[in-house]
Copies of this chain bind each other. A is one copy, B any other.
């Protein structure tokens, strides 16, 4: 629970430096879809909202853009990112490539203490799921992967994967199927078993399966998400194309 709040709280720990707090708040808003994909982000409005100058908002924009959570268009402004289907596929493919390696490393360096650490996390995932706390379940699910990355002891991997997991969260928020089927907590159990086997190939294979499963649960076949498909809404084909 504490862990959940630490990473995903709305305006949780208020002793953060203001710059970090603004990043965190905008991040949460995007992942919660209070800021919808494609939405224009106006500097002055945000500056007034947070009580800071436009310069700080601009700096925050650069961070968010670097993490691919917003798009920065010269002279036009900032827009909440709308990851395409191809992007979504690429992100999970990239995660597979990296997290396979993570799984290999964790599997071959497993200790009792580490196993206990993972089990403890899984307990919290199960609790959240049992309590029907969907939001906590999603956050903990992401943190499970981050925990494995941390167990490699490699900060570079950890930081990169953290960004990639955030990006995944936006993708999931955008493409998740209407009826939430977060059965992934049982998959994490299987993953732990694979890691405990100590066999890097088995661990990597299970990680690949898991990430593919997440991807396959998404609705990645919609015509063009975010962009309203008037033709299908009104049951007719467009008369002519706009210039």
Contact = CB atoms under 8 A, between A and B. Distances in A.
Give this chain's copy count. 2
A152 B100 CA distance: 15
A55 B58 CA distance: 10
A164 interface: yes
A104 to B, nearest CB: 8
B90 A97 contact: no
A156 B101 contact: no
Interface in A52-77: 55, 58-59, 62-63, 66
A156 to B, nearest CB: 4
A155 B94 CA distance: 9
The bracket for how many chain A residues form the interface is 20 to 34
Contact of A101 (B58, B91, B98): B98
A97 B93 contact: no
A154 interface: yes
A211 to B, nearest CB: 12
B156 A90 contact: yes
A63 B160 CA distance: 15
Given A55-B55, A62-B63, A97 B91 contact: no
A59 B57 CA distance: 12
Interface in A152-183: 152, 154-157, 160, 164
A194 interface: no
A105 interface: yes
A214 to B, nearest CB: 16
A202 interface: no
Nearest to A66: B66
A93 B63 contact: no
A154 B90 contact: yes
7 contacts: A59-B62, A62-B62, A91-B156, A94-B156, A94-B157, A98-B98, A101-B101
Given A98-B101, A100-B101, 11 more contacts: A62-B62, A63-B66, A93-B154, A96-B101, A97-B101, A97-B102, A97-B105, A97-B152, A97-B157, A98-B157, A160-B160
